[in-house]
Amino acid sequence: MPNTNPLSSGFGLETTDVDISRRVDDDAFAELERAFFRGQVLVLRGQSPTPAQYIAFARRFGPPEPHVIDQYHHPEEPNILILSNRRRDGQPIGLADAGSYFHTDYSYLQVPARATMLYSLEVPKVGGDTLFADQYSAYDGLTEAMKKRIEALVAIHHYGNRKVADEMSRTAASPLTDEQKAKMPLITHPIVRPHPVTGRKALYAVSGSSYGIVGMPGDEALALLDELAAHATQAKYVHSYPYAVGDIVIWDNASLLHSATLTDPDDPRTLWRITIKEPSTKLDALEVLAPKFASHTM
Ligand SMILES: [Fe+2]
State the distance from the centre of ligand 1 to the C-alpha of 1, rounded, in angstroms.
30
State the distance from the centre of ligand 1 to the C-alpha of 173, rounded, in angstroms.
9
Question: What confidence category does residue 37 fall into, taking pLDDT thresholds of 50, 70 and 90?
Answer: very high
State the distance from the centre of ligand 1 to the C-alpha of 107, rounded, in angstroms.
10
Higher model confidence: residue 162 or residue 194?
194
| Tens digits of residue pLDDT in 230-240 | 999 999 999 99
Mean pLDDT is highest, among 59-68, 159-168, 169-178, for 59-68
Report d(CA 55, CA 80) in Å as an integer. 8
pTM (2 d.p.): 0.88
H-run or E-run covering 14: strand 13-15
> What residue spans of the chain are helical by DSSP H?
26-39, 51-59, 135-140, 144-150, 178-182, 218-232
Whether the predicted pLDDT of 287 surpasses 50: no
Question: What confidence category does residue 170 fall into, taking pLDDT thresholds of 50, 70 and 90?
Answer: low
- Cβ atoms 230, 257 nearer than 8 A: no
pLDDT at 283: 43
The environment of the single-atom ion ligand 1, i.e. residues with CB closer than 5 A, is 99, 105
State the distance from the centre of ligand 1 to the C-alpha of 104, rounded, in angstroms.
6
Looking at every residue in the chain, the average pLDDT score rounds to 89
Whether the predicted pLDDT of 222 surpasses 70: yes
